[in-house]
Homo-oligomer: A and B are copies of this chain.
């Protein structure tokens, strides 16, 4: 029996205990954006370091000015590449809680109407489930073969969902320790439930929250209505003016640096049989919004966006309150592609907002750190090895896909540590990450572990 087959058998035989460990991690309320959950974030880090040490990967919890990092190392004593595996143990907030079918921190395996089994919990897919696929693969390898096929360094972060404020200083301070031949990043998805994918393009992101202030206090709309500025209207005007009637973003210079995807890549993508109706139909929609002269796949993979993730002002309670609020808020994010410059986009946005402001009103900006878009090196040898491993496991060629979301870490690895990243993950479009009832397919978890075992095996020198 080849050693990889033993490892795969070990994974199959121990799926129950792998799930138990995942559930333990899912129960920890590691919401990084809310300071009230700093304790659970540290708890998750401590637990993960303990697990790595138990496997035989020497790991420690490393403090930062925010939530801690977990770093682990294991030398294989063999020639071949040294890889860094990255994941994050923090999760998104869970509101609105009333839309969850069950406690988001009480994971369970639920059988859906179509018979698929899914793991339901906050973080099941983003990113605890994904992260544990690698940990369990490493565990099986060491258990069966006494070793890993390549040198492995592990980096688990606890601030990915809150802008990673501690990441740059940490990478800078630990450059030598963390610089490997390349990185494995698991925070991505499959093409569909049975077709693996490797993401080769990532959108970047930059953002701003705005607080528009008018009167010095809330006003009665009977007394002041029609005469006093209403910040709700100002914020609405700002939002409404961001797109023209063709769905293009109106900010001056916004499309500077946007790169057209080569025709041959577009042709490849057309063969994927991607259906906008199906993609949107799954979430109850039909018609793609966005630039009218672009396909839905372009909208989400290769085109920049301007999106309002939150807005609020005035009375939100039951009934009516005839108030003109003193201030109104909106949170904007811009997805970036090609060579768009996050700083320039933010500058242009801020100038636009100021231009929409009546002279007796003010605006405050709260920046969200920017990161540019990324394209992977198609000539990277690990890409071919990853494709082979995934095909062996899933029986289908991996799709080389674009990706709508941004994974800033990939840019940081490239710029700060000189590493390319191989982006392999097992999430599905309908995982409802960042939403109520987040789930991770049981197949994603099980075959995800098997996939990582195969990838590690392929990466070793023959």
A222 near B: Cβ within 8 Å?
yes
Contacts of A320 in B (CB 8 A): 33, 162-163, 207, 209, 309, 331, 333, 368
**B404–A222 CB distance below 8 A:** yes
**A283–B228 CB distance below 8 A:** yes
Contacts of A435 in B (CB 8 A): 217-220, 323
Contacts of A443 in B (CB 8 A): none
A40 near B: Cβ within 8 Å?
no
**B316–A227 CB distance below 8 A:** no
Per-position binary interface string of chain A over residues 301-343, scored 1 when its CB falls under 8 Å from any chain B CB and 0 otherwise: 0011101111111111111111111001111010100000000
- Given contacts A33-B317, A215-B284, A283-B217, A232 and B434 within 8 Å (CB-CB): no
A233 near B: Cβ within 8 Å?
yes
How many interface residues does chain A have, given as a range? 35 or more
Q: Roughly how many angstroms separate A97 CA and B294 CA in the complex, as a whole number?
A: 48
Q: Which residues of chain A from 24 to 65 have a CB within 8 Å of any chain B CB? A: 33-35
Q: A239: nearest residue on chain B (CB-CB)?
A: B236
Given B226, B319, B359, which contacts A300 in the complex, CB threshold below 8 Å?
Answer: B226
A237 near B: Cβ within 8 Å?
yes
Q: Roughly how many angstroms separate A94 CA and B165 CA in the complex, as a whole number?
A: 37
Q: A407: nearest residue on chain B (CB-CB)?
A: B222
A-B contact pairs, 27 of them (CB 8 A): A34-B317, A93-B315, A93-B321, A95-B317, A99-B217, A203-B222, A218-B436, A219-B435, A220-B434, A221-B335, A222-B405, A224-B300, A225-B404, A226-B300, A226-B305, A229-B289, A230-B307, A232-B309, A232-B311, A240-B241, A307-B322, A308-B313, A309-B315, A309-B325, A310-B316, A320-B333, A322-B405
